[in-house]
Amino acid sequence: MNWSYTIWIPLLPFLSFVINGVLYNRLPKKLSGVIGTSALGVAALLSYLTAGRYFFGTTSAEGYQPILAWQSTWMHITDKLAIDMGVYLDPISIMMLVVVTTISFLVHLYSVGYMSEEEGRNRYFAWLGLFSFSMLGLVLAPNLVQTYMFWELVGVSSFLLIGYYYDKPSAVRAALKAFIVTRFADVFFLIGILLYSYYSGSFRFEDLNNIAAIQAAHSSIPVFMGLSALTWGLMLIFVGGAGKSAMFPLHIWLPDAMEGPTPVSALIHAATMVVAGVYLVARLFPAFHGSDDGFALHVVAVVGTFSSLFAAIIAMTQMDIKRVLAFSTMSQIGYMMMGLGVSGYGEEGLGYTASMFHLFTHAAFKALLFLGAGAIIHAVHSNSIKDMGGLRKYMPMTNITFLIACLAISGVPPFAGFFSKDMILEAAYEHNKLIYFTGYITAGLTAFYMFRIYFMAFWGRNRDYDHEPHDPVWSMKIPLIVLAAGSVVLGLLPFNEWVTSDLRPLHIHFDMMMAAASVGIGVIGIITAYLLYRKPSDAPDKISHSLGFVYKTVKNKFYMDELYLGITREVILKRIAAPVAWFDRHIVDGTMNLIGNTTVGLSKGIKRIQSGDFQVYAFGILIAVIFFVVLFNYFIPTI
Amino acid sequence: METGIQIGDVLLVTSIMFFIGVYGFVTRKNLIAVLMSLEIIINAAAINFVLINKLVFTTNLHGVFFTFFILAVAAVEVAIGLVIILNLYRLKDSIDPEEITTLKH
């Protein structure tokens, strides 16, 4: 079968980026959105075509085989070591293709309505195109170097879009923070790539994942602190993934990233870019699983589990609707990491499938939550849930879709989140009881904080609004409806047939008790939220007041931002940056200044010779000629 | 041994001419005199060409023909030089080289 057309899936958004970027001021006002949306629409259709052909057309007894649809050598270093650019199709990359193009298309469509009053819309759509291109390039990468390049490109486009309102100081700060924190993590990522591929001798994923071959090729791989260099490399790579996926303790940029336009948050900071870390671990899953008995994978599981609980606790106290969703995203990504971390390989790869499944369903309902929040913010002109209340009367459509998304994320059957979350918990239960228990508590907290904002925004106190809020325009409604439909039915997809750790179909059994338990805790969370926030009351305030110090700590996000700020100011700036700056100013610059000043002084002394009187010059020439004639005639022997 | 003008005599005369020209070029305080000194230098070279051609390389006429080029170039040079001097005089009201020192550091 011919797969070469798949190269157009990333290239179409790139075209949209080029057209919107180059014809920045010359495009008619409405056209930029149309170009972006149609490019992504076609890309989405191509992705569905690819998914259909791949999942229904290439199955064999060996399971699904990866396909290298397109490839070109970019840098030829040695015969074995070359850096390629290519399009690599396998179940997870095709799944991500579908997710990225669909969400990006819907977000483009939504933005046509949402950004209709903004001045810099062409810039906005150009950057959305750049982001979609980079994300698709990242997803389709057949080797780690291409992954890294597009990894940085999504980082840049995220930076540009967070700082879209560049006249707002808080947005500029947030953009810088996101860029610096993820860049900091990417340094470790790069070191990890270099360390790991030093032993694998190749950047291709097949070679990286073939850990037996790597170990066979080297008689001894150095061991540091009881772990082999391969494991260290993988853990450094995971640091990069944790930075992008906002895992503790590199999560501090994600809540601030909400300064960007809301559709951007839905696309980048909920559905696609932030799951790149999960995708990266899934890409290298056999390596993670095979190296040192999967030690690196345990690290992934612990970090993921802790982040998911940590973020869920913070999310309960936040008042900004987008920040609640941001912490919720962090929590759910922690879930995905946990799913990968507890997974085995082959027949025991339930966690892997569950994690990818959760990534898929989460993209739908979290994008829906963000777009719904965007519709609310558009109507109420405020991010704070204190300014909302009683919106169900004004915005019935938004109300229903938001409710569906909340039910999906809380794991209520038959919505999509139930199936994927239940699978993750099941995998965790078989692996480690403590991880399972933490995930279980987190599920309850998730249900609670989601319904907290739902009840506070759509029920609660009725207010008088200056402008009466109303449902958004059609271009914003359609994405909400499509994603709501997705949040309902996507859980029924047979993911265990398609996306598995060893590419063969996985047999799963449905544990009724386990499902009932996880639904139970979800329902408890929902009921608690209902009792506290359904009607306006002072009970929540009383509870938070009685918790006192604990509540304050949580509300301030465990003072993580302050901790980072303190370390930056006290240690990095004072102890490291200041001496380095002194050295730069006095030693490096001093040397250069000395050279410069000497030259200037010398020229001041000798420039008087150039008097402008040509007779003096002529005399000088005469003297010189005589000097050389005498010199060569009498003092230097002829050759 | 052939009698008459010897090569050493010629070189002596042209050397004296050359250094007279150089002396004038460096010391005169009038640009026209400077130009005249320049002509003397050129003529010293031209005489060398003709006579060395005549006395040393008797089988060809390269030196003689070269002298024609020197004459042509010298004529052009005098024309341009005089124009420059004329314009300088309009600009500065002077043709003293010591006063024309605009091109300096």
Q: What is the pLDDT of residues A480-529, one digit of tens each?
A: 999 999 888 888 888 888 888 887 788 777 778 888 888 888 899 888 88
Do the beta carbons of residue A459 and residue A399 sit within 8 Å? Answer: no
Indicate yes or no: CB of B105 within 8 angstroms of CB of A607: yes
Of residues A436, A103, A390, the one with CA closest to residue A271? A103
Highest mean pLDDT among A372-376, A391-395, B81-85: B81-85
Give which of A607, A615, A629 to mutate to test B binding, by max B Cβ within 10 Å.
A615
The distance of B56 to chain A (nearest Cα, Å) reads 23
Mean pLDDT of A1-9: 85
Q: What is the pLDDT of residue A309?
A: 92
| 8-state DSSP, A472 | -
CA distance A379 to A396: 13
The Cα A337–Cα A438 span in angstroms is: 13
Give residue A151's pLDDT.
93
Residues of B in contact with A607 (CB under 8 A): 105
Rounded mean pLDDT of B53-76?
90
- Locate the domains of chain B by residue range: 7-92
Residues of A in contact with B34 (CB under 8 A): 615
ipTM topping 0.90: no
Q: Is B26 close to A615, i.e. CB distance below 8 A?
A: yes
Chain A residue with the nearest C-alpha to that of B30: A615
- The residue type of A276 is A
Q: Which of residues 237-296 of A touch B (CB under 8 A)?
A: none
Contact A611 B101 (CB under 8 A): yes
pLDDT at residue A632 is higher than 90 = no
The set of residues, in sequence order, having a beta carbon less than 8 Å from that of A565 and lying 6+ positions away, is none
- Per-residue pLDDT tens for A397-446? 888 999 999 999 988 888 888 888 888 888 888 888 888 989 899 999 99
CB B26 to CB A612 under 8 A?
Answer: no
Using CA atoms, how far apart are residues A248 and A86, in angstroms rounded to an integer?
Answer: 33
Q: Angle at Cα A264 formed by Cα A261 and Cα A265, nearest 5°? A: 90
- Interface membership of A607 toward B (CB under 8 Å): yes
| Phi, psi of A74, rounded to the nearest 5 degrees | -95, -50
With a cut of 80, say whether residue A637 has pLDDT above it. no
State how far the alpha carbon of B80 is from the alpha carbons of A592, B76, B86, B93, B102, in Å: 48, 6, 10, 19, 20
Two tokens, residue A595: 């050279």
The residue assigned the tokens 């972006």 is A36
pLDDT at A473 > cutoff 90: no
Residue in A608, A609, A614 to test binding to B, most B beta-carbons within 10 Å: A614
Q: How many angstroms separate the CA of residue B37 from the nearest CA in chain A?
A: 12
Question: Tens digits of per-residue pLDDT, A62-79?
Answer: 778 888 888 888 888 777
User: How close is the nearest chain B Cα to the Cα of A17, in Å?
Assistant: 54
CA distance A394 to A462: 11
A218: Cβ–Cβ under 8 A, 6 or more apart, which residues?
A199
What is the pLDDT averaged over residues A102-119? Answer: 87
R_g (Cα) of chain B, nearest Å: 18
Task: Write the CB contacts of A9 (distance below 8 Å, at least 6 apart in sequence).
Answer: A43, A46, A47, A50, A97, A101, A136, A140
Contact residues on chain B for A608, CB-CB shorter than 8 A? 105
Q: Over the stretch A121-158, which tens digit does the pLDDT of each residue have?
A: 888 889 999 999 999 999 999 988 899 999 999 999 99
Tell me which chain B residues have a C-beta less than 8 angstroms from the C-beta of A603. Answer: none
Q: In this model, does residue B1 exceed pLDDT 70?
A: no
Instruction: Report yes or no: A215 and A158 within 8 Å, Cβ to Cβ.
Output: no
Please report residues of A whose CB lies closer than 8 A to that of B102. Answer: 612
A467 shares contact with chain B (CB less than 8 Å): no
Smallest CA–CA distance, residue B38 to chain A, in Å, is 12
Chain B residues with beta carbon closer than 8 angstroms to that of A618: 22, 25-26
Give dist(CA A239, CA A233) in Å, integer.
Answer: 10
A605 part of contact set with chain B, CB < 8 Å = no
Question: Which residues contact residue A3 at a Cβ distance below 8 angstroms, ignoring those fewer than 6 apart?
Answer: A50, A67, A69, A70, A87, A89
Pick from A608, A610, A618: CB nearest B25: A618
Residue holding tokens 């994405």? A479
CA A223, chain centre distance (Å)? 32
Kindly provide the b/e burial profile for residues A469-479, where b requires at least 16 CB atoms within 10 angstroms of the residue's own CB. Answer: bebbeebbbeb
The backbone region for B70, taken as left when phi is positive above 0, alpha when psi lies in -120 to 50, beta otherwise, is: alpha
pTM, whole model, 2 decimals?
0.78
Chain A: residue nearest B28 by CA?
A615
CB atoms B105 and A610 under 8 Å: yes
Mark yes or no for CB contact A615/B104 under 8 Å. Answer: no
Residue in A205, A424, A418 with CA at minimum distance from that of residue A336:
A424
Task: Evaluate if residue A639 carries a pLDDT over 70.
Answer: no
Q: What is the mean pLDDT of chain A?
A: 87
Q: Which of A145, A149, A363, A179 is nearest to A256 (CA)?
A: A179
For residue A622, list chain B residues with Cβ-Cβ distance below 8 A: 22, 26
Give the orientation angle of helix B31-55 with respect to helix B7-27, to 10 degrees: 170
Residues of B in contact with A615 (CB under 8 A): 25-27, 34, 97-98
- pLDDT-wise least confident of A191-205, A539-553, A563-577, B26-40: A539-553
The label of the residue with tokens 């008790």 reads A513
- Residue B85 CB neighbour total at 10 angstroms: 17
Closest residue, chain A, to B35 (C-alpha): A615
Q: Which of A327, A331, A330 is closest to A318 using CA atoms? A: A327
Please state the rounded mean pLDDT for residues B40-66.
90
Among A611, A615, A618, select the one facing B104 at the smallest CB separation.
A611
Which pLDDT score, from 0 to 100, does residue B3 have?
A: 65
pLDDT bin (cut points 50, 70, 90) of residue B34 is very high
* Per-residue pLDDT, B2: 57
Instruction: Report chain B residues whose CB lies below 8 A from the CB of A613.
Output: 97-98, 101
pLDDT on residue A533: 82
Which residue in chain B is spatially nearest to A606 when comparing CA positions?
Answer: B105
In contact, A427 and A354? CB cutoff 8 Å: yes
Select B7-92's CATH number: 3.40.190.10, 1.20.1250.20, 1.10.287.3510, 1.10.10.10: 1.10.287.3510
Tens-digit pLDDT profile for residues A206-249: 888 888 788 777 777 777 787 888 888 899 999 999 999 988 88
Please tell me which of the candidates A612, A619, A622 has its beta carbon nearest to residue B104.
A612
